[in-house]
Structure 1
């Protein structure tokens, strides 16, 4: 599986801890198989892991779960675009944007 496949699968799944768990597992596998992008994968892994730890045993409102999924998808697609550029500077800029955006967000994961 590659990052694009992981994004597509996540986008197609219902929002909730199961879909975030699959992102967590997928990015962990990608860290091992694509070391060049280990940092960005670890960033996404951390968000997915946090969501699972915070909400796996809780009833979550559908709107909340959808908002979290939308935010993580935005981060994943931002990284995917940077990967396509092939530029380390673009990847770093995408990671920085994600961290800053997350800091200004509701920090739901």
Structure 2
């Protein structure tokens, strides 16, 4: 599985913890299969893992779930586009994702 497949499946899934769990599992598998980009996958893994840990046993509104899905999907797509562009571009994109995440409401 590639990051694009993970992002496509996440985009097509219903918002909720199951979709985030699939991202968590998929990016964790990518860490082992593509160690050259492990830090990018780990960043995404951490976001998905946090969402699952924070929200798996609580009722959340559909609006909250959709906003969180939209946020993570944006991060997935940004990193997906940066991976083939080389380490410098990928690092810059990852730094931008972290800055964006820190400035956003914390869903995960």
Q: Aligned pair count? A: 108
TM-score normalised by structure 1 residue count? 0.97
1: distance between equivalents of 2:7 and 2:75? 10
TM-score normalised by structure 2 residue count? 0.98
Instruction: Structure 2 unaligned segments of length 5 or more: list them.
Output: none
Tell me if 1:24 matches 2:24: yes
Instruction: Please name the residue that 1:66 is paired with.
Output: 66
1: distance between equivalents of 2:52 and 2:14? 14
Stretches (4+) displaced over 4 A: none
Q: CA RMSD in A?
A: 0.6
Instruction: Structure 1 unaligned segments of length 5 or more: list them.
Output: none
Give the 3-state SS of the residue equivalent to 2:44 in structure 1. helix
2: distance between equivalents of 1:35 and 1:88? 13
